[in-house]
């Protein structure tokens, strides 16, 4: 009986340790996942948070320097009903005029995914610094027919160790 209790206490300790590990790891590695318009509704709210934003590449905004691997473009909201699975909004919401016009400049350094182009839907991960989104990674999504679509996550030059270890 006593022995059994000892094992129960031991197991409980292990479970608690794992729980604590999960708790701290979530706190330190989590990022808010939202659409550009959701972010634009209150840009100040997440000024210091890691973000994962879904949006559309504004037509004609892409600037790419193949020598320095610097990429800059403007992210805009994905029009209602075209967002595919990455649309965080639920049905019935209508974009307020102010956030539908939201434009967020994005900067990224690294190799650009194959499917990246004007007008594509993308997910960027990073932070907003001085009104510019500094993307650590850039994913393209393709709201087309493929079900098992998997895109190559592009990684920013120096930040690899941080994201994929």
Partner 1 sequence: MSDIGRLAIVLGFIVAIWGIVASVAGALRRDDDLVASGSHAAYAFSALVGIAVAALLYLLLTHDFNVEYVSAYSSSTLPVWYTIAALWGGMKGSLLWWTFILAVCNAIVQFQNRDKNRDAMPWVTAVLLMVGAFFLSLLVFITNPFERLSFTPAEGSDLNPLLQNYWMTIHPPSLYIGFVTTTVPFAFAIAALATGKLGDTWIRTTRRWAIFSWFFLTLGNLFGAAWAYVVLGWGGYWAWDPVENAAFMPWLTATAFLHSVTIQEKKDMLKVWNMVLVILTFALTIFGTFLTRSGVISSVHSFTQSGLGPFFMGFLLAMLALSLGLLVWRLPLLKSRNELESVFSREAAFLLNNLALVGIAFTVFWGTVFPVISEWVRGVKITVGPPFFNRVNAPLALALVFLMGVGPVIAWRRASWQSLQRSFLWPVLVGLSVGALALAQAGGNYYAVVAFSFAAFALTTVWTEFWRGMRVRQAMLGEKPWTALSRLIGKNRRRYGGYIVHVGTAMVFVGIVASSVFKVEVQKGLEPGGTVSIGRYTLRYDGVRTESDAHVDKTLAQIAVSRDGEPIATLEPEKRFYKKPKQPTTEVAIWSTLGADLYVVLGSYDPPTKSAVIQVFVNPLISWMWIGGVVMALGTAVCMWPSWSEQMSTVAAGVPSGTRTAS
Judged by the rule CB under 8 A, the positions of this chain that interact with partner 1 are 3-4, 7, 10-11, 14-15, 18, 21-22, 25-26, 28-34, 52, 66-69, 84-86, 88, 110-112, 114-115, 125, 139, 141-143, 145-155, 157, 160, 162-165
Which residue's CB is nearer to partner 1, number 45 or number 129? 45
List the structure tokens of 15: 């479970």
CB of 128 to partner 1, least distance (A): 16
- Judged on CB neighbours under 10 Å (0-12, 13-18, 19+), 4 is exposed
List the structure tokens of 11: 């197991």
| Dihedrals phi, psi of 146, to nearest 5 degrees | -65, 140
CB of 67 to partner 1, least distance (A): 4
Q: Report whether 102 contacts 85 (CB < 8 A).
A: no
What are the distances in angstroms from CA 108 to CA 42, 72, 86, 119, 138? 23, 6, 21, 17, 8
Which residue's CB is nearer to partner 1, number 91 or number 130? 91
Which residue's CB is nearer to partner 1, number 52 or number 134? 52
CB of 45 to partner 1, least distance (A): 10
Residues 74, 60: Cα–Cα separation, whole Å? 9
CB of 4 to partner 1, least distance (A): 6
Which residue's CB is nearer to partner 1, number 66 or number 97? 66
Which residue's CB is nearer to partner 1, number 130 or number 161? 161
């Amino acid at each position: 009986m006593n022995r059994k209790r000892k094992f129960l206490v031991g197991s409980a300790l292990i479970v608690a340790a794992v729980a604590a590990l999960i708790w701290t790891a979530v706190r330190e590695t989590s990022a808010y996942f939202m659409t550009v318009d959701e972010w634009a509704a209150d840009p100040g709210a997440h000024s210091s948070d890691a973000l994962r934003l879904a949006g559309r590449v504004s037509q004609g905004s892409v600037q790419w320097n193949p020598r320095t691997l610097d990429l800059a473009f403007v992210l805009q909201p994905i029009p209602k009903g075209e967002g595919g699975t990455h649309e965080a909004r639920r049905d019935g919401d209508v974009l307020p005029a102010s956030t539908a016009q939201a434009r967020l400049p994005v900067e990224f350094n690294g190799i650009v995914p194959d499917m990246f182009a004007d007008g594509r839907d993308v997910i960027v991960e990073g932070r907003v610094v001085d009104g510019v989104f500094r993307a650590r990674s850039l994913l393209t999504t393709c709201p087309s027919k493929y079900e098992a679509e998997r895109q190559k996550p592009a990684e920013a030059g120096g930040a690899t160790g941080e994201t994929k270890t």
